[in-house]
Each structure stands twice: as C-alpha cells, then as structure tokens.
Amino acid sequence: MADSSPSAAALEPRGRKPKKTFSRANIFLYGTLIMVSMYYLLPLYVMVVTSLKGMPEIRMGNIFGPPMEITFEPWVKAWSEACTGINCDGLSRGFGNSVRILIPSVLMSIVIASVNGYALANWKFKGSEVFFTILIIGAFIPYQTMLYPIVIMLREIGLMGSIWGLVLVHTVFGMPILTLLFRNYFASVPEELFKAARVDGAGFWQIYFQIMIPMALPIFVVAIILQVTGIWNDFLFGVIYTKPATYPMTVQLNNIVNSVQGIKEYNVNMAATLLTGLVPLIIYFASGKLFVRGIAAGAVKG
Amino acid sequence: MTVVSDPRPRSAKRPSRLFKNWMAKIASLPMILTALVVFLGGTAWTVTYSFTGSRMLPRAKWVGLDQYERLWDTDRWIISIKNLAIYGSCSMILTLVLGFSLAACLDRKIRFESAFRTIFLYPFALSFVVTGLAWQWILNPDFGLQSVVRSWGWESFAFNPLNDPNTVIFGLLIAGLWQGTGLIMCIMLAGLRGIDEDIWKAARVDGIGTVKTYVVVIIPMMRPVFITALVMIASGIIKLYDLVVAQTGGGPGLASEVPAKYVIEYMFRAQNLGQGFAASTMMLCSVVIILIPWAYLEFGGRKRG
C-alpha cells in the first residue's frame, strides 16, 4: 500500500488523474473486485463456518450462516477419530506421514537441484545442455506415461509402497523446475566472481559452498516454498506409490470424506479439509511476496 | 585480478581441467539419470508396451495397434476425451479472460492491491483435493447453495451441477477456475508491470480509451506472457485428475471421467496395463501437439527478434 501516498502518485502519472477516488469508473472497478473477492473467499468461509457447527445445526440451517453454537468437536474428531476403512485414528496419521514424506523430499530435491543448477550454470560440460533440455521437456510429459515404469523401478530397489520411494519420486519430479530455478539464478551471478574464485584456487565444491550458497539464500527460500506446497498438495503420487499405512494426508482426506460407509458428517469433513489445507495456507500467508516469486519462477520455463 | 581472463598458465599446480569437469559430471549424475532413465526411458517404455497385450503384468506380447483400437471403441474413453475438451476449452478461455481482467483491474493503481492479490491467489496454495471437497460441499443440493437460495423463497431454484450428467463438468470448472485463475492473474500482472509507462502516456496523448488501449496495444505487446500462460493452463488441464477424484469421483455414472483418471483406473484397478499404456500414450501425443507450436512460437519468435 506504499503507492497510496500522494507523492508517489504524483511521480507516476499513469491512467486516470489521481485523487479522483469516487469516479464512476472507480466505483465500478472496486465493485467488480469486491464481487470477485467474494467468489474467492466464499469456500474458505463456508469451510470454517461448517467445521464449527454441530450436525443438527447443519441439517436445519443455512451453510452460509455463522454457527449459533461454536463447537470444536468436529476438529478433534477429524484429527483423531475419523475413519478410513477399518482404521479410526483420524487424520493425525496422514499428517504424520505427510511430514515424514515432506522433510526428506524437500531437502533432497533442493540439494540435488541446486548442485545441478550450479553445474549447469558454471561448469558446463559437453552434453550438459542436452540433458537439461530433456529434463525441462520431461516436466511437460504427462505423469501418466511415467507412472508404471517408476513402479517397476521402485519395486526393483525395494522401495515400492514405502515413504522413501515416494521421497524419491518427489525428488525426481521436482527436479526440472528447481534445476531451472537454480540454474537461472546462478547464471545471473557475475562471472568475474566465479573466475576470481577459480584464480584463487577454489574448486567445484568450495565455490558452491562458500560463494554460491551464501548468495543464493533467497532462492533457496523460494525453492522451499515451492516444494513444501507442491509436495504437501500431491495426491497422484501418494495414491500410487504408497500403501494405506503410509498414505499422505491428501489421500487420507479424500478417503475419509468420500467414503461411502456411515453417515456423512459434513462438519468433520470440512474440519478435515481445512486441516489438510492449513500447512500450505500458513506457508502462503507467511511467505507473501516470496510465494509469488516462486510461482513466477515456475512460469518462466525454457 | 586484471589478468583474470586467462588463468590457464597457473592451472598446472591445480587439479587438471578434466578432473574438474568430472566433478561437475558426477554432481550432475542425478539430473542425467532422471532425464535419461526416468523421463526418456520411462516414456519410451510406456509407449513400447502400449503395443503389447499386457494385462496384470507387463508382457512383451505384441498385438500391434489392438490396444488403440479397443481404446477408441471404449465409451468411457470417448466420454473422457469429450469432457476434457469441454473443460479444457472453457477453462482456457475463462482463465485467460478472468486472469487478464483481474490483473488489469489490479494494475489501475488501486488501493488495497496486495489485499486483493492475496485473496485471488490463496486458492492456488491449496491442493485440488481440498478444492474439490470444498466445492462439493458448497454445491451439495440438500444443504448447499441450492437449498439456501430455496430457503430465501425461490422454491424452484435449481443449481445442482454435481448430480446432473449434463452439467457436472461445469461444476468442476467452477472449482478449477477458483483454484487456478490467481496464478494466471499473477503472471499477467507481472507482464503488465513490465510494460513501459510511456506506452500509456502515448496512448493518452493520442486520446485512446483505457479499454481500447488494453485490447489494441497492451495485449499484443504481452504476447510472450500470454503464450506462457497458455502453456501453463494447457499442461494443467491435461493433468486434471485429483480434482475429479475428490469432487465427483468421475460420476454421476461416467459423466465426469477424464483421460488421466482412465489411465490410472486401467493400470492400477482394472489390471489392464495395455489399455492404460495406450491411453497414456494418447495423452502424450496431445501434449506433443500442444508443445510443438509453442516451441515454434517461442524459439521461432526469438530468432526473428
């Protein structure tokens, strides 16, 4: 909101004259934006409101109405009692699995991709660009074409169904975009710096650890944001490469909500949905501009 | 420091150049393996085995194009393709139009810009499963939007897309747009911010209206941004899977089936691997069809510029 100061507005005379806040065009503009905002905010509002109501109130009332009596029971139930099949230990198990998948996946994918990007930007070798091009094209290939060969590979190394197998899959599929991110960043580092370090006798790893990493901290944060939200939100790989005991949270959530047995408890379902969405939402609201930078980095492919 | 450009004479003391390149090569090994074994090898494997009669396990028993003939004879696949075509074309147009319009609104030097941007983008942080379940609940005919409008007195109001085979795709579309337009808006906004202020001044001097300036001047200038957005939307559409599983489960009946779901059902549930491979190869073909014009526009355009 820095641009609301009159001096800034006076410096940049774009579009209409500043200070005419209540012109017809402005009313139309804000009206549209507020209307659209409602469409975007409605689901979040409905989820929160529903998750705080009791079932009798949901059956009688209006899904847009605020809860008459706030209850946190649905949240407790979603976390520790909701059933998938015969297991009734709630989403906490999926949460645990997701965390155990998330941490090694994020670390591994970022370490590997940053080294890749560094090698591609500063230590080009014969064929390096070819491999990189294949990697980037690979990001566009539908995952479905690679699903089954990966099943075979994971079976061969004995990781099928385990958390580590899924970690490997996330590392592989995170690689194109992260490598691109790091490669572009390292390529923008002034070459003189790199040359000076080489003249001083620094080798591959020394330059990486002592010069590149300290300079690239912001891009590491961007990569972490990108990976945490991406891996946490994954459903496809989770449902294929893990078994019920190691299902990540998204898969378990879907199984809880879309299970056909029993009475539908919409408040518990919405609490469970919110619980699953909480981690990426916190990341999103906490990271602000960096999140935008992360997705913008994802946008400039090629 | 001034002779940096030629460090070679001193390199005799340090490890040889070949060794250094080896280090880079070893460090790039994960990338090389991923590119060659998983991406290239995996894709080639699937395409090859789509010409076999594999059922429960992959077997190299060649059947020619049988799987493809069977695929295009299967109603479920035809429905999936039609659904994807409807969803895809609507989503493509609406995402671009909405994304650009919102970005243009936010670029009009308005107040609370970052608040609006935060609101439009937050659904993108959520997974498709969460998106699908939230909208499944809002569109629930007995408790959701429909019942609320009816309780306001409009007794005959009917809005029940998720249980109507003819409109279920639009139910998915509402949710998909909710999740995805924020991203495109962000990209468009970045593109708009990259436009020189002088263009606006020139347009104003020439007396061209705001809307007309956008349509005639700004949009053509933003061609690369639009192409990027188009590619991102298209690759997202082909991957459409989680949203369908969560929101409709492919129902009612087969009314909201999509190709990605077809592949996974045949590979991992129906024990009919050959069909799954053939269907995924068709998906690959459609991506290639999209990618080639894009690569042409992107790299052909760069050469000209």
ipTM score = 0.86
Mean pLDDT score, B39-48: 94
Q: What angle do CA A256, A259, A265 make, to 5 degrees?
A: 65
Q: In chain B, which residue's Cα lies nearest the Cα of A133? A: B35
CATH architecture classification, A92-299: Orthogonal Bundle (1.10)
Question: Does the pLDDT value for residue B100 go beyond 80?
Answer: yes
Per-residue pLDDT at B137: 93
Please give the Cα distance from A66 to A78 (Å, whole number).
20
Mutate to test the interface with A, among B5, B23, B34 (most CBs of A within 10 A): B34
Per-residue pLDDT at B6: 46
Any B CB within 8 A of A237 CB? no
Per-residue pLDDT at A152: 93
The sign one gets for the Cα dihedral B93, B94, B95, B97 is positive
Residues in B closer than 8 angstroms to A148, CB to CB, are 45-46, 49, 58, 267, 273, 276-277
Residues in B closer than 8 angstroms to A9, CB to CB, are 109
pLDDT tens digits, one per residue of B220-252: 999 888 988 888 888 889 889 999 999 998 878
Mean pLDDT score, B183-208: 88
Residues in A closer than 8 angstroms to B23, CB to CB, are 123, 203-205
Residues in A closer than 8 angstroms to B40, CB to CB, are 134, 138
Q: Which residues pair with B62 in a beta bridge?
A: B52
Q: Which DSSP category does A84 fall into?
A: B
Please give the Cα distance from B117 to B125 (Å, whole number).
13
Per-residue pLDDT at A16: 56
Per-residue pLDDT at B97: 94
pLDDT string in tens for chain A (302-residue length): 444 444 444 455 566 555 555 678 788 889 999 999 999 999 999 999 999 988 888 888 788 888 888 889 889 988 988 877 777 788 899 999 999 999 999 999 999 999 999 999 988 888 888 899 889 888 888 899 999 999 999 999 998 889 999 999 999 999 998 999 899 889 888 888 888 988 888 888 999 999 899 988 888 998 998 899 999 999 999 999 998 888 999 999 999 888 877 778 889 999 999 999 999 999 999 987 888 877 766 555 43
Task: Kindly report the backbone phi and psi dihedral angles of residue A87, in degrees, each rounded to the nearest multiple of 5, phi listed first.
Answer: -80, 130
Instruction: Give residue for tokens 């090898």.
Output: B41
Per-residue pLDDT at A299: 56
Mutate to test the interface with A, among B14, B130, B152 (most CBs of A within 10 A): B130
Q: How far is CA A254 from CA A225, B16, B164, in A?
A: 24, 56, 22
Per-residue pLDDT at B110: 84
Residues in B closer than 8 angstroms to A232, CB to CB, are 127
Contact A284/B28, CB-based, under 8 Å?
Answer: no
Mutate to test the interface with B, among A91, A120, A145, A257 (most CBs of B within 10 A): A145
Please give the Cα distance from A10 to A19 (Å, whole number).
10
Q: Which DSSP category does A211 fall into?
A: I
Closest of A227, A217, A115, A81 to residue A167, by C-alpha = A227
Tell me which residues of chain A, numbers 32 to 61, contact chain B at a CB-CB cutoff of 8 Å.
Answer: 32-33, 36-37, 39-44, 46-47, 50, 58-59
Q: Which residues of B98-127 are buried (b: 16+ CB within 10 A; e: fewer)?
A: bbbbbbbbbbbbbebbeebbbbbbbbbbbb
Per-residue pLDDT at A179: 92
Mutate to test the interface with A, among B109, B208, B240, B284 (most CBs of A within 10 A): B109
Residue B4: pLDDT band (50, 70, 90) is: very low
Question: Does the pLDDT value for residue B14 go beyond 80?
Answer: no
Report helix, strand or coil for B62.
strand
Per-residue pLDDT at B46: 93
Closest of B110, B87, B222 to residue B102, by C-alpha = B110
Contact A142/B238, CB-based, under 8 Å?
Answer: yes
Any B CB within 8 A of A13 CB? yes
Of residues B35, B58, B267, nearest to A134 (C-beta): B35
Share of chain B above pLDDT 70, in %: 91
Tell me the nearest-neighbour CA distance from A157 into chain B, angstroms: 14
Per-residue pLDDT at B3: 40
Average model confidence (pLDDT) for chain B?
86
Tell me the nearest-neighbour CA distance from A29 into chain B, angstroms: 7
Question: Does the pLDDT value for residue B82 go beyond 80?
Answer: yes
Query: What are the structural domain ranges in chain A?
Result: 17-71, 92-299
